[in-house]
Homo-oligomer: A and B are copies of this chain.
Amino acid sequence: MVYFSSDYMVGAHPEVLEHLVATNQQHTPGYGADHFTAQAEQLILQACQLTGTDTTTRGKVYFLEGGTQTNLIVIDRLLDRNDGVISAETAHINVHEAGAIEACGHKVLALPSNDGKLTADQVDRYLTEFYNDETHEHMVRPAMVYITFPTELGTLYTRQQLSELSRVCNRWQIPLYIDGARLAYGLASPANDLTLPDIAALSDLFYIGGTKCGALFGEALVTRRPELLPRFFSLMKLRGGVLAKGRLLGVQFKALFENNLYQRIGQHAIQMAMMLKQGVVERGYTLYMDSPTNQQFVILPNEKIQTLRPEVSFELWGPPGEHETPVRFVTDWSTTPDAVRTLLDLLSDPPSAGLRLAGNRGQ
């Protein structure tokens, strides 16, 4: 069996686990007031070039347990009572968080998107129309922008695109927040022209995903504008997002940001993903989405899907089509070249032309 279902099927990268084991018996204060957490924050701020000595240059890091939790607490903190958050229709907060944002009282203002991305123009137009509408006091005020990097569809913003989005948010004075659940894979992608300091500078806040990028669990929320998060610990506590043994997050992120581990994890997964992508294309399959990151979306004949099932774990991407269906293959630190080769071998038996044509008509 080879595994491509997701990037959260195994435990932590061995170096992360090693740190947890090595520090297990040390006594520290609870709730994140420990030295591991302080060190992890320092390492992350260095990596983000947010280590200035005054409040205008020094960032702040908060550690949380998972992506949905991070999103709901951040958004709840940034929005006032009748504010909403602009996102793409495909955004995780709009689709796959079970209504977490609304449960905090806020509307997700979802804009159409084909590739999982928002454009600066789109956001600018939305805000312009809102404030031009004479009845806007009866409407939900758009008060922040949420994007994902990479997106749910594996795509990436270019530096140009992110800069423009950042400029629009700046002009309207609303924060831009980046969900970096799979940030490692975005940064390591050959298609990427953004650095971690770029991300830190062009967003108001963003989180560095741990759960899907080599940690057991945990996300690191980073902001260059700590004033946006007043009394944040209390809000984390209120939403059930504070670990008594807060150091668990500190220890893991310390491991991830020492010796370039976060970077190495990203690079390895991307190598595997590119090998996989090249292989499926060479074998004549159509990509459902041309993703430059660790999620690869391929259209497979339904028959082929059946033959893969006993030997490969993967997920369908959407409801089954009549003849063919998009599927997703995901790589991570634990993916081996052998596993990719096994998958490609299983795909080598080429999809029949007849089926493909029928399938294309069905789309």
Contacts and interface: CB of A to CB of B under 8 A. Distances in A.
Contacts of A65: 65, 240, 243
B105 A108 contact: no
B24 A17 contact: yes
Contact of A81 (B25, B76, B108, B216): B76
B20 A17 contact: yes
Given A102-B106, A248-B217, A72 B140 contact: no
Contacts of A316: 134
A103 B211 contact: no
Contacts of A103: 81-82, 105, 238-239
A29 B9 contact: yes
Contacts of A248: 11, 216-217
Nearest to A110: B110
Contacts of A70: 240
Contacts of A105: 99, 102-105
Contacts of A8: 30, 244-245
Interface residues of A, number: 83
Interface stretch (A184-192, A227-235, A297-305, A355-363): A227-235
Contacts of A107: 99, 102, 108
Contact of A137 (B26, B95, B129, B233): B233
Nearest to A83: B99
Interface string A99-125: 110111111100000000000000000
Interface string A64-103: 0111111111001100111110000000000111111011
A346 interface: no
A319 B133 contact: yes
Interface string A1-29: 10101101111101001001101111111
Nearest to A67: B244
In order of increasing CB-CB distance, the 3 nearest A-B pairs are A69-B240, A11-B24, A8-B244
Given A11-B245, A132-B319, 17 more contacts: A9-B28, A11-B26, A12-B24, A20-B20, A20-B216, A27-B334, A65-B243, A80-B230, A81-B231, A82-B234, A83-B99, A95-B139, A100-B239, A102-B107, A103-B238, A134-B316, A141-B234
25 contacts: A3-B27, A10-B26, A10-B27, A17-B21, A65-B65, A67-B244, A70-B240, A72-B240, A76-B81, A81-B234, A81-B238, A82-B103, A82-B231, A84-B99, A96-B139, A97-B237, A97-B238, A99-B140, A102-B102, A102-B105, A103-B105, A137-B233, A138-B234, A217-B245, A239-B240
